[in-house]
Amino acid sequence: HPYSRKVALSGWALMAAAVTLMLGGSPTLAVVSFVTTAAIYGTNVALGKLGLPYFFQQVMGGFMATVPAAFIYKLAIEHSAVVAPYRIIVSGIIVLMAGLSLVGSVQDAITGAPVTAAGRFIEVMVYTAGLVGGVGIALRLTSALGASLPPMQQEVLPYAPLPIMVLTGGLASAAFALASYASPKALTTSFASGAVGAGLVGSILNAGLGPIVASAVAATVVGLAGGLLARRAVVPPIIVAVAGITPLVPGLAVYRGLSEIMAGQTLAAISNLFTAVMVGCTLAAGVTLGEWVARTMRRPRLPRRLLGSRVA
């Protein structure tokens, strides 16, 4: 690895802080997300060394992402302060979902490898279930301890202003690349692809076209940009593309659905969880399409005389 484990851990924590800011959180909440995520990954590294299966590490991660948010919200209520604790939880969910191979599973399905795709997709679903289970356990426990979290609103929740979305989206993508031990050259291209993706999503959401359309357009452009930029930086396109869409993972829809399950709103929960699945698959499919376009644009054209001889 080009970096030490501590540097990679800092990358995960920095990604969580950047996502919190992208979701419209304050610098204070970003610091809390940084510390919480660092603690999550430090704990999971230790558990991994003990041989604990990754499913249970996801359960622990979801639990640890939720508990601080609940008690911070309780403290804020006691001091008449206004805080949105869901931003801490959602940033943790996005970071924990970032390492799952959803893009690879959808790419396999699209490119004609259904068996491999099914195996990867089941793995993603199982690990996501572990994450959701950890969040659910934490919600029940904190509620029993008198630190209940507020219900999620049904209307669209505000992101940060567009310029901040662009900056923090790029920072989150670069931090993900750093945490994934990408080469230094890949960090710059990952920042660029993440900034473009976040900017497109913010613009399309502001136009009222919805998260699925926003994800499709942004992921396709990120996949295209990743394919073209990666050639100049001499890095694999998939690294740049995955880093670019990582801040766009539908962590907010996942948490909203889980919150509604806890409140007994089953139909609304199913709708939000289905939206999360659709957005995730749309991101992966868009990246695949964008990479195909990039390969087509970069493909060298043979002279006509060679094409004629091949036909003959």
Checking if the pLDDT of 44 tops 80, the result is yes
Assign 27 to helix, strand or coil.
helix
Predicted local distance difference test score (pLDDT) of residue 310: 47
Q: What is the pLDDT of residues 129-184, one digit of tens each?
A: 899 899 989 988 998 888 888 776 655 567 889 999 999 999 999 999 898 888 88
Q: Mean pLDDT across the stretch 227-251?
A: 76
227 located within any domain: yes
Among 38-52, 54-68, 93-107, 124-138, the range scoring the smallest mean pLDDT is 93-107
Checking if the pLDDT of 303 tops 90, the result is no
Q: What is the pLDDT of residues 63-76, one digit of tens each?
A: 999 999 999 988 88
Q: Are the beta carbons of 91 and 113 closer than 8 angstroms? A: no
Sign, CA dihedral 264-268-272-278, equals positive
| pTM of the entire predicted model | 0.85
HEC-encoded secondary structure of 34-60: HHHHHHHHHHHHHHHHCCCCHHHHHHH
Structure tokens at 307: 């094409």
Checking if the pLDDT of 116 tops 70, the result is yes
Predicted local distance difference test score (pLDDT) of residue 16: 92
**Which range marks the domain in which residue 94 is found?**
5-298
- Angle between the N-to-C axes of helices 54-78 and 86-98, in degrees from 0 to 180, rounded to the nearest 10: 160
306 located within any domain: no
21 located within any domain: yes
- CA 65 – CA 63 distance, rounded (Å): 6
Confidence category of residue 256, pLDDT binned at 50, 70, 90 = confident
Q: Which residue has the higher pLDDT, 235 or 153?
A: 235
| pLDDT mean across residues, the chain | 84
Checking if the pLDDT of 293 tops 80, the result is yes
80 CB contacts (<8 Å, ≥6 apart)?
Answer: none
Structure tokens at 140: 């029940």
The domain total for the chain is: 1
Q: Are the beta carbons of 110 and 72 closer than 8 angstroms? A: no
155 located within any domain: yes
Checking if the pLDDT of 263 tops 80, the result is no
Count of other CB atoms within 10 angstroms of residue 6: 10
Among 76-85, 124-133, 258-267, 297-306, the range scoring the smallest mean pLDDT is 297-306
